[in-house]
Every structure is written in structure tokens, then in C-alpha cells.
Amino acid sequence: MASFSPRELTDLYAMQKVQVKVTNALGIHARPSAKIAHLASMFSCTVWLAIPGRRANARSIVAVMSLAAAVGSTITIETNGPDEKEAIDALIDLIGREFAARR
């Protein structure tokens, strides 16, 4: 039987964190917020978006919109949980292609 110390148990999922620049001409308004919330809801990990001074649950359209992230601003994406790497990669991809559908 395997034995883990409490420290090892908490380190199973180390939070992923990355900063992304908003390049969409209109920033993160209603439609991009809905796309982010929909995508974040597809993963079991927790997903947060942050700008200096504010943090929002990425699964909430209203919370994401309230960040009012304008074009050129930098947002931090934080994920924590079993599929955190996949979630952060998917969000980076979505924001990087300016919320456009995949071709």
C-alpha cells in the first residue's frame, strides 16, 4: 500500500498560471465572455481569470465580463485540478485566435 505525506497529496495538481494579452479589437465583451465560460465549464478543474485588482470565476459569463479586459490588457489564467493543463491550453488557444472558430 502506498503512503503519501500531506505535502505530496496537495502537490498532485500544481496550479497552472499563464498571462495572455487580449488582442481582440473589442476586448472581452459579452460574446467572448460567453465563449470563455462555455469552454471553462467543459473542464473539471477550477478556472480563474485575473487582471490587476480583480479575479473572476471563468465559468461565469457575468464575472468574466465584469473584468472589462480591453484590447491590449493582460489577463492571467489560473487553473487547478485534474485537467488543468488541457484547460489552460484550450483557453490560450481561444483567446489567441481572438475568439474565432477553428478553421
Catalytic residues: 29
From CA 101, how far away is CA 81, in angstroms rounded?
A: 26
Helices (H) and strands (E) in the chain, counts: 4, 4
In angstroms, rounded to a whole number, what is the distance separating the alpha carbons of residues 23 and 5?
44
How does DSSP classify residue 14?
P
